[in-house]
Chain A
């Protein structure tokens, strides 16, 4: 065992930190700091992707032949940590972390050329069309049907929770191409252009005032057969590949570290009975306890990145990161809300054009905190609910 972090990483960290500071427009960082979360800052996300791409850093985790940097897992970790600390937005997750890897692994040369280039260059936003109204946790029985007619598919059905669909040019969809085999075997992975005739998108108003989630209605949508990724009937396998691809991201470790740091700053700034909240024992111990939990999570992530030999199925480790990471997202943002006390109750509009200046009585650090905490309720729901994750752990670790 060697529990020391490689010293060379310090130089790497200094290098990326400096580069990010140079590249990241303060306007984007400020927006991300105030309103970032699971939000609709699509334009800024793409702008940041383009800036990164100029340096060859927009898809650092991809294989070098498709534009990756060849960084080690630890270097990638450090890069993401620094970007998050600097309040950089993510790149479009669906494109760079989900669909991209599926395409470079299973796609045709033409698809690689078309899509990978566009994802890398941040040309448009990409939506993930998996979940359906009747099929969330039970995704395998999804019903949206794609019928092959010559050189195209005719798609009919409905998707829901399609994050950012209203602002996306394309979506990657799971569709049923064969109704006659067992559910998992009849699913295919299809790229659908969202301005195609027959596609209707409705934004869903959310608990936090945003409306990023969408319903996507597909009514006799014609999709060229060349938009099928890989083989027909292999969609479920690709989807599992995509979800398993990055085992540590569901920990939201960078988010959790950053938001804990923000909570500490709020605790120093917010006064209760004339004393900073940080000096009140109740808040002190809450912060300390969360710090312990975030630290443990970071070390769980490091074990995964360093490929520790693991007695159990690795997926159980990934689910562990997801269970802890999602609970922490909720706990840390709730702490922020409590630190603000009654000032957390004021509604702040989500859409930039609706935002008003709250005036000098209101600390600017209050804005966005409650909205973030409200949508953090979703962190134990999306990407496999908390109950589903626990089911996975008990099954894969213990065969229960």
Chain B
């Protein structure tokens, strides 16, 4: 076993920390929030140039053929600064599904790697939550030259800036993953912001024409591909969460040395020292759990799923402890939008509830 970074991973982390550290200041992120779609388009191009979008794309499709451990290294750096660009949806979830698609998707993958295509999963439907394998109400039926797709999707993460959607629907062969372009006839979006300032959409599909080339997977293959992609996405979120906790340790320990009350730095108070120590322990354990989950990602689905669920429970609970105490240690400043810790808190909340929250993961792990 070797928990140290490989030379390539070290390079990846150095360049990620440098770019993200320089670029994603709190002011910059707060300014992005006020833009129409919330995303930093020029930074996204840099993501592409640095090869970040290509990590999971196989070499034969023009990617780097990297591993989830590489993604986790990068995701930690994204989490450090609460970067909320649509990385997980596009470079992990969609890249996984497209690479495993039954129909060749070379052009879309190429454009994803180049930073042009951003692809969002449209799975959730009204009245359900985290229903990974329940039948879809969205329906794909034979019609016209190929198929017709109709349905209602909710909370499509990063929907407003997506160029394409991977829509889950019930088709003639069961669960079907369909690639739909944004702006296609019959696709209507209703966009909104989430509490971490990322964006999502509700998607209405009314008689959207679908050709055979847009069918990515059907039946059991579709289910297997979707759950693999979701588990990879969950681990990517967990890695961001660990990155966020690690940043909070730095921010809070610095604050405790600098902030004075009663004539001392508040870090002199043992009550706060113990809080910092608890945060340290939780963060350490969280990173261990991340490695455990990463080690199980290539194993049979049942082993993988349980490992990811265990990791999600443990990491999310650690993240709650760390992000809550980070605010507490900052006193009033902690609940303002002008201090980093309130952004980490909101980001952690969103990371916890995407693609399955603690309750969902608990049920999955104890099933």
Contacts and interface: CB of A to CB of B under 8 A. Distances in A.
Interface of A: 131, 134-138, 160-161, 204-208, 213, 271-273, 280, 282-283, 330, 337-338, 341-347, 358-359, 361, 370, 374-375, 377-378, 380-382, 385-387, 390-391
B327 interface: yes
B193 interface: yes
A207 B193 contact: no
Given A136-B332, A205-B337, A282-B362, A347 B357 contact: no
A213 to B, nearest CB: 7
Contact of A136 (B131, B202, B261, B327): B261
A374 B335 CA distance: 8
B262 interface: yes
Contacts of B190: 359
A377 B190 CA distance: 31
Interface in B184-202: 190, 192-197, 200, 202
Contact of A345 (B195, B328, B332): B195
Contacts of B354: 342, 345
Interface stretch (B54-62, B141-149, B242-250, B338-346): B338-346
B124 to A, nearest CB: 7
A382 B332 contact: yes
Given A137-B261, A282-B363, A381-B335, 6 more contacts: A131-B332, A136-B261, A136-B332, A204-B338, A207-B327, A386-B328
A381 B332 contact: yes
A345 B353 contact: yes
A284 B272 CA distance: 33
Contacts of A358: 192
11 contacts: A131-B332, A272-B359, A342-B129, A343-B129, A345-B196, A361-B126, A370-B195, A374-B195, A374-B346, A377-B328, A378-B332
A134 B338 contact: no
B337 A345 contact: no
Nearest to B323: A377
A343 B192 CA distance: 12
A356 to B, nearest CB: 8
Interface in B306-332: 324, 327-328, 331-332
Chain A binding surface, main DSSP class: mixed
Contact of B127 (A135, A271, A280, A342): A271
B337 A377 contact: no
B331 to A, nearest CB: 5
Contacts of A330: 324
Nearest to B192: A346
A381 B263 CA distance: 20
Contact of B334 (A271, A341, A377): A377
Nearest to A371: B195
B335 A377 contact: yes
B350 interface: yes
Which 5 A-B pairs rank lowest in CB-CB distance, beginning with the nearest? A205-B337, A207-B342, A138-B261, A347-B193, A341-B129
Interface string B131-175: 100000000000000000000101100000000000000000000
Contacts of B353: 341-342, 344-345
Nearest to A140: B262
A346 B357 contact: no
B130 interface: yes
B202 A361 contact: yes
Nearest to A344: B353
B359 A338 contact: yes
A386 B358 CA distance: 26
A344 to B, nearest CB: 7
A343 B124 CA distance: 11
B35 to A, nearest CB: 15
Nearest to A135: B261
Interface string B100-141: 000000000000000000000000101111110000000000
Contact of B262 (A138, A213, A271, A346): A138
Contacts of A272: 129, 359
Contacts of A160: 332
A385 B331 contact: yes
A342 B124 contact: yes
Nearest to A270: B129
B252 to A, nearest CB: 14
A307 to B, nearest CB: 32
A137 B262 contact: yes
Given A271-B127, A273-B131, A345-B194, A206 B336 contact: yes
Given A137-B262, A358-B192, A387-B272, A375 B331 contact: no
Contacts of B131: 273
B260 interface: yes
B332 A342 contact: no
A347 B194 contact: yes
Nearest to B33: A347
Contacts of B195: 345-347, 370, 374
Contacts of A136: 261, 331-332
Contacts of B345: 207, 374, 377
Nearest to B202: A361
B208 to A, nearest CB: 19
Contacts of B154: 361
Contact of B331 (A273, A346, A381): A381
